[in-house]
Chain A
Amino acid sequence: AQKITQTQPGMFVQEKEAVTLDCTYDTSDPSYGLFWYKQPSSGEMIFLIYQGSYDQQNATEGRYSLNFQKARKSANLVISASQLGDSAMYFCAMREGLLWDNNNDMRFGAGTRLTVKP
């Protein structure tokens, strides 16, 4: 069974600095997708970034990048130039099966609460 681990319950970062949120995963499927979601205090789940297991390059989306180390089974989220609005819960998630496969349920880690200090 797939498993996602986020070992940092809480993180603090100074405004304008970079921060790395850790995520490790466990799967026996060679094909999978890794996702990061942000949940602000308002409660909605916001998709941030995606990395496929066969992608050769690390994914980037604006200030977000994913440090993908396949051999270590880690998919850390890097937020550059932190802003006060980045304060939120961040969830790492994985979905097995990139090819046609109906059983693509998404599993989540426990989350990391990031607080950006002014």
Chain B
Amino acid sequence: NAGVTQTPKFQVLKTGQSMTLQCAQDMNHEYMSWYRQDPGMGLRLIHYSVGAGITDQGEVPNGYNVSRSTTEDFPLRLLSAAPSQTSVYFCASSLAGSGANVLTFGAGSRLTVL
């Protein structure tokens, strides 16, 4: 049982380059989300989705795009990377529909933008 799988684990980009962080889950979770973690700021929500075809913005959505074409996959796209997007990114998923549902996290992706 793989849980939440994120790729790549590490990535270095130059300013202005684009890339996609991949996230896949095999738990049939309706809810999927992306967070970024920066020192002293905890985890901040970027985008989330409650099902295929449905996405919404979180606290810090600027500079990021998402789509949800299947239940399993929720990729995060950086269209034109900036040094401010240097961070550790976490994908997480859960059942939808209740605030009691626990989020299961991927292992994280460390992104450096030069």
Taking Cβ atoms with an 8 Å cutoff, the residues of A that contact B are 4, 6, 9, 31-33, 35, 37, 43-45, 47, 50, 52, 91, 93-111
Residues of B with C-beta under 8 A to A44:
105, 107-108
Residue contact B33 to A45, C-beta cutoff 8 Å:
no
Partner among A45, A101, A109, A111 whose Cβ is within 8 Å of the Cβ of B90 = A45
Partner among A9, A32, A35, A107 whose Cβ is within 8 Å of the Cβ of B102 = A35
Query: Total A-B pairs in contact (CB under 8 Å)?
Result: 81
* Of B41, B44, B92, B102, most A-chain CB atoms within 10 Å: B102
Residue contact B31 to A104, C-beta cutoff 8 Å:
yes
Is B43 part of the contact surface with A, judged by Cβ < 8 Å? yes
Residues of A with C-beta under 8 A to B96:
102, 104
State the interface size on chain B (CB cutoff 8 A).
Answer: 30
